[in-house]
Amino acid sequence: MPMNSETQPGIAGTVRGRLIRGFGATALGPVVTAIIQLGTVPLLLHAWGAAKYGDWLLLSAVPSYLALSDMGFGTASGSDMTMRVAAGDREGALRTFQSSWALLTSVSIVMMLLASATVWWIPWQHWLKVSSVSSLQAATIMIILGAYVVVGQQNNVAESGYRCDGNFATGILWLVLLRVIETILTTMVALLGGSLLSVALTYLAIRSLGSLAYSLLLRHKSPWLRFGIRHARLQTVKQMAAPALGFMAMPMGDALTLQGFTVVIGASLGPVAVVVFSTSRTLSRISLQLMIAVTHTLWPELSAAFGAGKISLARRLHRHAIQAALGLSVLGGLLLWVTGPFLYHIWIRKAVTFDAACFHILLFAAIANSLWYTSSVVPMSTNAHHRIAFAYLAGTSISLGLAYVLIHPLGIVGAAVALLLVQASMSWLVLQTALRQVQDTLREFIVAMFTLAPLGRAWRQAREA
pLDDT category, 218, cuts 50, 70, 90?
A: very high
- The more confident residue out of 134 and 385 is 134
pLDDT value, residue 10? 46
Please give the Cα distance from 60 to 259 (Å, whole number).
9
What confidence category does residue 304 fall into, taking pLDDT thresholds of 50, 70 and 90? confident
DSSP per residue, 72-118? THHHHHHHHHHHHHHTT-HHHHHHHHHHHHHHHHHHHHHHHHHHHHH
- Helical packing angle, 356-381 and 73-86, nearest 10°: 40
CA angle, corner 220, sides to 217 and 221, nearest 5?
90
d(CA 115, CA 117): 5
In this predicted structure, the answer to whether residue 336 has a pLDDT above a threshold of 70 is yes
The SS3 of residue 131 is coil
Whether residue 286 contacts residue 66, with contact meaning beta carbons closer than 8 Å, is answered with: no
- Structure-model confidence comparison of residues 38 and 12, the more confident one: 38
Q: Can you give the pLDDT at residue 68?
A: 61
pLDDT at 1: 30
- pLDDT confidence band for 382 (50 / 70 / 90): confident
Higher-pLDDT residue of 234 and 64 is 234
What is the number of alpha carbons within 13 Å of residue 279 lying toward its C-beta?
A: 32
Separation between Cα atoms, residue 225 and residue 241, nearest integer Å: 22
Alpha-carbon span 232 to 102, nearest angstrom:
7
pLDDT at 210: 95
Q: What confidence score (pLDDT) does residue 238 get?
A: 80
Mean pLDDT of the chain: 83
d(CA 34, CA 312): 35
Please state, in angstroms and rounded to a whole number, the distance separating the CA atoms of residues 159 and 218. Answer: 8
Q: What is the mean pLDDT of residues 436-442?
A: 89
Tell me the helix, strand and coil percentages in the chain, rounded to 5: 85, 0, 15
**Three-class SS state of 14:** strand
Give me the sign of the Cα torsion angle 347, 348, 350, 355: negative
**CA-CA distance, 56 to 194, in Å (whole number)?**
13
pLDDT value, residue 189: 96
pLDDT of residue 429: 87
What mean pLDDT do residues 430-455 have? 81
Q: Dmax of the chain from CA atoms? A: 67
The pLDDT of residue 69 is 60
288 in Cβ contact with 370 (< 8 Å): yes
pLDDT at residue 21, as a whole number: 66
Nearby residues of 131 by Cβ (< 8 Å), 6 or more positions away = 51, 52, 55, 271
Span of 19-23, 234-238, 429-433, 451-455 with lowest mean pLDDT: 451-455
Query: 2-16, 20-34, 42-56, 167-181: lowest mean pLDDT where?
Result: 2-16
Q: Tell me, what amino acid is at 251? A: P
Predicted pLDDT at 211: 94
Q: CB-side exposure of 233: number of CA atoms within 13 Å?
A: 12
pLDDT band for 146, please (50, 70, 90 cuts).
very high
Cα gap 99→93, rounded to integer Å: 10
In the chain, % of residues over pLDDT 70: 88
The average pLDDT across 209-225 equals 93
At residue 281, the 3 state secondary structure works out as: helix
Measure Cα distances from 282 to 71, 124, 271, 335 in Å: 27, 26, 16, 15
b/e 65-88 (16+ beta carbons within 10 angstroms → b):
bbbbbbbbbbbbbbbbbbbbbbbe
Most confident of 122-136, 195-209, 356-370: 195-209
Residue 459: its pLDDT value, please?
44
**Residue 281 vs residues 261, 276, 286, 287: alpha-carbon distances, Å:** 11, 9, 9, 12
- pLDDT category of residue 20 using cuts at 50, 70 and 90: low
Residues 6+ away with beta carbon under 8 Å from 425? 395
Find the mean pLDDT for residues 150-176: 86
- The model's confidence at residue 316, banded by pLDDT at 50, 70 and 90, is confident
CA separation for the pair 228, 219 (Å, rounded): 12
Residues facing 14 on adjacent strands: 7
**∠ CA(291), CA(260), CA(415), 5° rounding?**
80
Per-residue confidence band for 458, with pLDDT thresholds at 50, 70 and 90? very low
Separation CA 193–CA 201 (nearest Å): 14
Question: Could you give the 3-state DSSP secondary structure of residue 370?
Answer: helix
Confidence of residue 61 (pLDDT cuts 50, 70, 90): confident
In this model, does residue 159 exceed pLDDT 90?
Answer: no
For residue 434, pLDDT over 70 is answered with: yes
Q: What's the pLDDT at 18? A: 62
How far apart are alpha carbons 187 and 168 in whole angstroms?
29
DSSP 58-71: HHHHTGGGGGGGGT
In whole angstroms, what is the distance from residue 4 CA to residue 317 CA?
Answer: 16
- Contacts for 116 with CB less than 8 Å, ≥ 6 apart: 143
pTM, whole model, 2 decimals? 0.65
Q: Quote the percentage of the chain above a pLDDT of 90.
A: 20
pLDDT at 100 over 80: yes
| pLDDT for 215 beyond 90 | yes
Length of the chain: 465
pLDDT of 209 over the 90 cut: yes
How confident is the model over 341-345, as a mean pLDDT? Answer: 86
